[in-house]
Structure formats: C-alpha cells, structure tokens
Structure 1
Amino acid sequence: MAKVFGATSTTEDVLSGVNLKGKRILVTGVSAGLGIETARSLAEHGAHVVGAARDLAKAEAATAQVRKDAAANAGGFEIVTLDLGSLKSVRAAADDLLTKGEPFDVIIANAGVMATPFEHTKDGFERQFGTNHLGHFVFVNRIAPLLRAGGRLINLSSGGHRFSNVNLDDPNFERTPYEPYVAYGRSKTANILFAVAFDKRHRERGVRAAAVHPGVIRTELTRYMDPAQFQARLDQIAQQLAAEGKELQWKTVAQGSATSVWAGVVARGEEIGGRYCENCHVSDIVPDDVVLSPVNEGVRGYALDSDSAEALWKKSEELVGESF
C-alpha cells in the first residue's frame, strides 16, 4: 500500500526507505532555500545531483552540507553556472551538459524570482516571465535529450498562479500597467502550462512532467519585495483567513521541498503527468469564481488548459527565436 503524505510531510518523510543510488538529478536554484534542501535530500539518499545557480560562489558556500550528506551516503554533488535571466548563459550551460552527454533521471526546475520591481532580463523580457518561464523553457528543452526514458520534469510553480493567467498579447507589459503580483502570477501559470505541453510531447517515451506548489515558506524569494508592503499583504491574508476561522500555516523548507521530491522520484508518472501538485498529492481544478485563500488547495483550470499550453509554447519559441 502506497504511503500517504500531506502538507506537513518533509523530504525525509517522503524519501524514507528510498535508495536513489545511480540516479542523476538536476536541480536549478541551489544557492538558497528550497533548492538547497531539495538537492541535499536527494544526495543524502544516494543520488548524484547536479545543481545549477547564477552565483557560483554563493552556491558553493550555501551547499557545504549538501556535499557532506552526499559524501556520507554514496551520493554526489556538483554545481554548474546558470543565469536564467540571460539566454546566452542558458544556452552555454545547456551546451556544456549536452557535450558531457551524461543522462538525467529527473530535472527539477526550482529557481525563480518573485514580485520584483519592473525590470527586464538581459534579452529584454519582463524579468519574472523571462526568468521563471523563458529561461527554463530554453534550458530544459535544450537538455531534454538527456532525460532518460521514464524520467521526469518537475516545474516549481506556486499558488500564486491564481493571480493571473498568461497574457500572450503583452507578455512584457508594454501596454499593460505593471503589477508585481500579476507578473508573478503570469510566470507561475506559465510554469504549469509548460509542464502540460512538455508532458504531451515526451510521454510516449515514458518521460512525464508536472508542476508543483511548495506552499508558503520563508525563503529568499521575498528579497525583492518592500518589507512594509510584504507585511501589509501578510496582514491582509491573516484577516481574510481569520474571517474563515483559519490561520496562515507556514511550512519549513523541508516541508516545502517535499512535494518536489515526491513528484520527482516517489509518485507514479501516470499519476502526476501533466498535472499540478501540492502537499504531496495531485490537486483538483477549482473554478475561477471560487475565492481561494493561501491555505486552500486547488489549481485554476486555465493553468492546465491544453490549448493555452500549446499557444504558450508557440509564443515562447517566437520570443526566444528557437524551436523545440
């Protein structure tokens, strides 16, 4: 009988009794928070983890424990440079991995930014859409040939996808007033739609893709947000939840990383393929007219729409000037 996990499950709970020796897993964003814990837990259970990060020095310092746990449990760990805000860096990183030709069993697209001021990537894309979606879109598609049959792609999305559907007519806010959370929502919806389209293209060889929401966690993801505005938003959420007789439940980093690990190496591929997961299970679609608070589960239907996923794929290829 399969174990049942939930919101409070940790990476150790999910991986209890799991031996990942011989598995190669790539995790982006290993310089902080969820990326570090995801890499550490997998390496601790014997996997060889390739971490990717923009700031190599920061990542090296932040992952000392990852290396220790890997060495103590017959796992492995290495870091490659990847700046998702620069397609030149993205393509160089992918080309280096392709040249080495070493396969992967799982790719966990964990890195991202949240609620940034209005800025552009080095290629002129709105920063959140460009980093969270387009950078991963090019990187993952370029190294897709390295995914073994039966492999997985896990995209880190967020309950923040509920803030907004994608806007393919104005992805860079050239005609739309910029709002940080709307931009974040667009990028997180794009992460889900990318998983849907990738899953469709690769499932015949047993490769499945899913998107996951880690939960509400205190990490560096909020570093771009004004502290006063962030606190005001937390207060607003607390008031909303109080009216429902609930309170905001913060997850630990180990709890937040659990769903990525569960979807990547524990859950059945046919269970999670093309789906959105949270709290270590597949989420149900919730109609757009149903108000959801941060403690409610559910995914908006527009984030799993196959036609939207195909339209996003086509638009993404146009934007980056590369077809996959």
Structure 2
Amino acid sequence: MHIKPLLYQPEIQSFICLISSILILLFKFYFTQTFSLFTLFLYLIIIILVCRRIATGDSYIPSKNTDLTGQTVIVTGAASGIGRASAIEFAKLGAKVIVGIRGQNRAEQTARLLAQEAKIIDTGKIVGYDLDLSKLSTVKQFANKILKHEQHVNILLNNAGMAHSIHSLTADGLETEFGTNHIGHFYLTKLLLPLLIRSKARIVNVSSTGHCFVDHRINYEFPSSSYNAQISYGQSKLAQVWHAFELQKRYGQQGIKAYSLHPGMIYTEITRRAPKSFNIFYHVVLLIVGKSIYQGAQTSLYCSLSNEARPGQFHGNCKEAKSSPLAFNKQLAEECWDVSEKIISEKTKYF
C-alpha cells in the first residue's frame, strides 16, 4: 500500500485534523478536567467546521464562455451520486447528455428527472439508454445505439463504479469489481473509439486514490481463496488510471484527451453491498470529513471541461494529483491493456 499520495487529498487531511483534535481534547480533559459542557460543545463545533472546510477542497467553476450547445456527452452511472450531478451540470451548459443506467425503463425515467432538475425544456436533450457494465452484451448494445444515432461524442465520462465486500463474478465470469469498473468501461471506450477520435473527444475515467492500496503484486486471476476486497477494488481503479494513460499515449496524437481522477470520499450507492455496520460508520465519518455529491463532481467537471487539466494524468481536488508509483509504470500499463484486450476478445467472440 502506498500511503503518501493519500495524504495530499483534502478528505484525508480533514480526517487527520479530526483525529488530532479529538486526541488533543482528550489529553487536555485528562490532565485538567476543567471543561464545561458549553466549552466542550463549542470546541466540537469548531472542530467539525474546520474539518468540513478542509474536506471541501477546491471547486471548478466553468468560465462564462463555456457553452456545450451542439456537443454530446455520455455519462455512465448517472442514476445517482456524482454521475447524476455531472450530467445535470453538462445539461445546464447546453450539451445533449446521454446517460447509461441499468434497465431501459429506469434509464428513461432518470433522464426525465434529470431534465427537470436541470430545468431543460427540450426533453430530448437528456437521453437514457440501458447500460449494465457488468454485462458486456449490454455494453455493446449501448454502444451500437450511440454509433447509430450520434454523429459525434465530445465527452465520455466513465463514471459508474461499484465496491464489493465478497468475491463474486459478473455474467461474463469476471471478478465483479474489475469486470464492472474497468473492463466494462474499457470495452465501451473501445467500441466508441473511432467516433471519439473523429470528435476529438475527452475521455474521463473516474478512478480513486484507492488505487494506492495495490502493491507491485498484480494478479488478474482474483482467486476466491485469497480474495481481498480492498485490493480488488484498488486494482480495478488502478486499471482505470492505466487505461487513461494508455489511451493518451496511443491515440493522443489523433486528437483525443484522456484523464483519470479521484472524486473524493463521498457517501454514494457505491458501498450499497457493503455490510450495514460499515455503511453506518462510513456515513457518520463522511458527514464530517467527506465531500457532498456536488463537491465530489467537481474534479469530473474539471477534467471534462478545463484546459488546465493534463491529458494522461491523474487528478484530484481540481488539479493534477499525487498517485501511486505504479500508476504510470509503462510496462504495467501496457500489460493491463493487453490483458483487457484479451479478455474482451474472449468474452465477446460470439456477440
């Protein structure tokens, strides 16, 4: 595990501030025992406010000239969380937004709700298509709809993600986190790549500093006998960093720009399959040291829209961020690309 990159993230700094402040409080109380209830209450309020301010981090405000009218944006996983917030912001800026969500009826309903939230009169400006990234057949169907109906795609926000606490497999027989978070998006990007190149698009992978959980022992087999949920999640997110890095290296000269990012610690449905006790603890902690959903969407918007974002690099808190030493290892990135291509070739040969 690589600790140093984590320390640069606002929510981690906020957590350190919280723990330090509580320890100082306990230390003073133990030796002086002179705190009144009012003083204790005031101290705790100040701690929470300071920690919340640190955790918020930087925000991205598009310039007044930012106008996405005539542009098409795809957002995966926009039913909730930062994907939903990002889709709404793109729509407000004038883009046609296509959201990929599991279940066609659910996707269409979500698109209608997003249009209402964005106050879009033209309901055709936000379109919902069925997309289950854990099923490569639906990824292909989703991509086929895009290729059939769209002349260009200017931004592909590979946002959807999930975390699992136990070993499980996708419908295609892949480890669930790796198959959903990385392979599903890898396949979608591969299918849309000619259109993306023609559009000189931005491809934005929502990864995580969770990629720092992984050491040099990369294993694409994910054996159930030695399954580690943290490592599995971290490897899926590391693969997304490598994906953006390789996309930029291989196709950057053809006009595309690829980015990866850490959105921050946010309470979303990504942990819905985690144990209830963990979810309760996680939620309570994030009320103090986490970001809101809107705040968590800021770096996604930054990488999607800002000319200051660096193609091929890893971002966090609306700027280039520290990453694991493995993140830009050329040999490992190429190996992951080759493994992903091999998986896609094997799993989709009968489509």
For the aligned pair, the TM-score class normalised by the smaller chain equals 0.7 to 0.9
Q: Which residue of 1 aligns with 2:328?
A: 304
Q: 1:150 aligns with which of 188, 200, 220?
A: 200
Q: Which residue of 2 aligns with 1:265?
A: 305
Q: Which residue of 1 aligns with 2:33?
A: none
Moved more, 124-133 or 78-87: 78-87
Q: Which residue of 2 aligns with 1:286?
A: none
Q: Which residue of 2 aligns with 1:19?
A: 67
Q: How far has the Cα of 1:258 moved from its partner?
A: 1.0
- Partners in 1 of 2:127 and 2:304 — Cα distance? 19
Q: How far has the Cα of 1:70 moved from its partner?
A: 5.6
Deviations 1:209-235 (A, max 9, x none): 010111011111110110213456689
Please give the residue correspondences for 1:131-142 in structure 2 after superposition, counting only pairs within 5 Å.
131-142=180-191
- Partners in 1 of 2:215 and 2:95 — Cα distance? 36
Contact 1:132 1:188 in 2 (8 A): yes
Q: Which runs of 5+ in 2 are unaligned?
A: 1-54
Q: Which residue of 2 aligns with 1:274?
A: 312
Contact 1:217 1:251 in 2 (8 A): yes
Deviations 1:108-150 (A, max 9, x none): 0001111342110011000000000001111111101111443
Deviations 1:229-270 (A, max 9, x none): 3456689x89xxxxxxxx9621111111111111111234xx
Secondary structure of 1:71's partner? coil
Please give the residue correspondences for 1:84-95 in structure 2 after superposition, counting only pairs within 5 Å.
84-95=133-144
TM-score normalised to the size of structure 1?
0.82
- Partners in 2 of 1:133 and 1:187 — Cα distance? 6
Deviations 1:263-300 (A, max 9, x none): 111234xx4211000111011xxxxxxxxxxxxxx311
Contact 1:196 1:309 in 2 (8 A): yes
Structure with higher Rg: it is 2
Q: How many residues align?
A: 291
Structure that is richer in helix per residue: 2
Cα distance change, pair 137–120 in 1 and its aligned pair in 2 (3 A): same
Cα distance change, pair 118–84 in 1 and its aligned pair in 2 (3 A): same
Q: Which residue of 2 aligns with 1:45?
A: 93
Contact 2:134 2:171 in 1 (8 A): yes
Provide the identity percentage. Answer: 29
Letter in 1 for 2:208: S
Secondary structure of 1:299's partner? coil
Q: How far has the Cα of 1:65 moved from its partner?
A: 4.1
Secondary structure of 1:22's partner? coil
Q: 1:250 aligns with which of 285, 290, 293?
A: 290
- Partners in 2 of 1:265 and 1:312 — Cα distance? 28
Q: How far has the Cα of 1:57 moved from its partner?
A: 3.1
Contact 2:81 2:269 in 1 (8 A): yes
Secondary structure of 2:289's partner? coil
- Partners in 2 of 1:177 and 1:303 — Cα distance? 24
Secondary structure of 2:128's partner? strand
- Partners in 2 of 1:174 and 1:61 — Cα distance? 38
Please give the residue correspondences for 1:86-165 in structure 2 after superposition, counting only pairs within 5 Å.
86-147=135-196, 148-165=198-215
Letter in 1 for 2:319: H
- Partners in 1 of 2:319 and 2:260 — Cα distance? 11
Q: Which residue of 1 aligns with 2:338?
A: 314
Contact 2:153 2:199 in 1 (8 A): no
- Partners in 2 of 1:183 and 1:14 — Cα distance? 35
- Partners in 1 of 2:78 and 2:344 — Cα distance? 25
> Is residue 127 of structure 2 the alignment partner of residue 78 of structure 1?
yes
Contact 2:75 2:87 in 1 (8 A): yes
TM-score normalised to the size of structure 2?
0.76
Cα distance change, pair 7–282 in 1 and its aligned pair in 2 (3 A): farther
Cα distance change, pair 253–140 in 1 and its aligned pair in 2 (3 A): same
- Partners in 2 of 1:77 and 1:10 — Cα distance? 25
Secondary structure of 2:226's partner? coil
RMSD: 2.7
